[in-house]
Amino acid sequence: MSFFRPSGLVNPPDLSSHALRRGPAFFYYPSVNGTLQQDGSEVSSCSNQSTDLTAECEQSYAFSTANGPLAFAILSSGYIYSDLWGTNDNIIDTEANATIGAPDISSVSPTYVFVGTNGTLTFGGQSFVNPFGGSSTTIDVSGGTGLTVSSVSVSETSATADYSASLTASTGQWRLGMSYFLGSTILQGVTNLQVGDPPPTITSISPSSWPAGATTTVTITGSGFGSNPQLSVSGTGVTATMTSHSDMGGPGGATIVANVIVSGCAPAGSTSITLTSTGYNGAGFVAAYSGEPSSVVSSATVLPAPAAAASVLFYGTNVAGKATNVVVGQQISLTSQAPTQACMTIASQKWSSPPGNAVGGFTAQAIPPLVTVSAVPSNTTSSSYGPLYWITGGTLSMTYQYTLANGQESGLYGNVQRRRA
């Protein structure tokens, strides 16, 4: 017995072994009923009763898959009819199912990929395989260069495929086609996959503190900078010039080297660094998903301008940090000279008190005591200090320090006096 033979969907069982004869005048006849259902509704049927040893019915049914895959079910029943008793004795029931039509792709995950990445695409839907066997399912891509899909694993309702997107792959929407041959006709379903540039990220800025009044070489590392990144900094008196960049793709594979110039007038505090990607293939940044940023913002710290070294003058000679020989009783007068710094004024300054046995001066008198000794000067916060006199030998020092309006203190600058009696 067979029922419906559209491209070999099913061959119901042969009931020839059930065709029996009893006596010279009474017969048992093999019989068959068949029904074809499309998407759960009956669209055709047939039945047959045979006087020979087999029974079969066959019909053809025309359909179109223009509106998507169709689910077919063939239901058949085989039985024996007795002309003596007028009864039907059921022998066997069979069912065959097949989905026929172009692959219907309802989902693809992920819905986008970044250039310079590899991974796996997972498809969901129906009618992914040829219901009659023979022709395998393939996936092809179109939309530019640099994206390949291979190693397809497919079942009726799901499929996976490996993809590889080069760093300079064409960005935008790509077409994915899933297809197989049904006879000489190719059935194909399509979906779209967005290929885009990754968002830039910054993982480190070294150094992250920039002194005012200086030029600092800064290295910025991260990912997704692109082949021609743009760099800018915000903040009064801060500028940056990119000197080199590279991006080999992958996490942490991007580097920018820049010279950051901070004027001496730049205020201390935080400054913003903005890095913008222009993509990898020369077409500009193309987002892989809605709302994807093409820029990333980080920050660095501007340090206040340091206080430069001051001079300490002794009779017009800078003696800061030097050993100077004087004699006991020699007049010592010192003058500070702080360098001029842009936008910076001296808020305060101070001298150390003279160490050792020192006096501020001598006054001669006609009557005893013949000499009056005055104390050393008490004003230690002006640019000059003195006069003073050491009355014993030894190695002693004086120091000077100033503080800028931005709070930065200078070092301790002194003149070392080596005295002999």
Q: What is the mean pLDDT of residues 112-140?
A: 93
pLDDT of residue 71: 84
pLDDT of residue 308: 85
pLDDT-based confidence at 83, cuts 50/70/90?
low
pLDDT-based confidence at 171, cuts 50/70/90?
very high
- The encoded tokens of residue 407 equal 């709070």
Give backbone dihedrals phi and psi of 16, rounded to 5 degrees, phi first.
Answer: -60, -30
Q: What is the mean pLDDT of residues 243-257?
A: 94
CA distance 80 to 31: 6
CA distance 280 to 223: 12
pLDDT of residue 2: 33
pLDDT-based confidence at 85, cuts 50/70/90?
low
Neighbours of 267 (CB within 10 A): 14
Return the closest-CA partner of residue 91 out of 109, 77, 108, 112: 77
What stretch of H or E contains 404?
A: strand 394-404
CB of 160 within 8 A of CB of 127? Answer: no
CB of 410 within 8 A of CB of 402? Answer: yes
- The encoded tokens of residue 150 equal 């291979």
pLDDT-based confidence at 294, cuts 50/70/90?
very high
Nearest 5°: the CA angle 61, 63, 69 is 130
pLDDT of residue 84: 61
24-59 confidence digits (pLDDT tens) = 444 667 888 889 888 889 888 888 877 776 778 887
0.95 surpassed by pTM: no
The residue with greater pLDDT, 360 or 82, is: 360
Beta strands in 248-287, from DSSP E residues, in sequence order: 254-262, 269-276
Name the percent of the chain lying above pLDDT 70. Answer: 90
Worst-scoring range by mean pLDDT, 71-75, 164-168, 274-278?
71-75
298-356 confidence digits (pLDDT tens) = 999 999 888 888 999 998 999 988 888 888 889 999 999 988 877 788 899 999 999 98
Worst-scoring range by mean pLDDT, 82-96, 171-185, 271-285?
82-96
Return the closest-CA partner of residue 280 out of 229, 226, 231, 230: 226
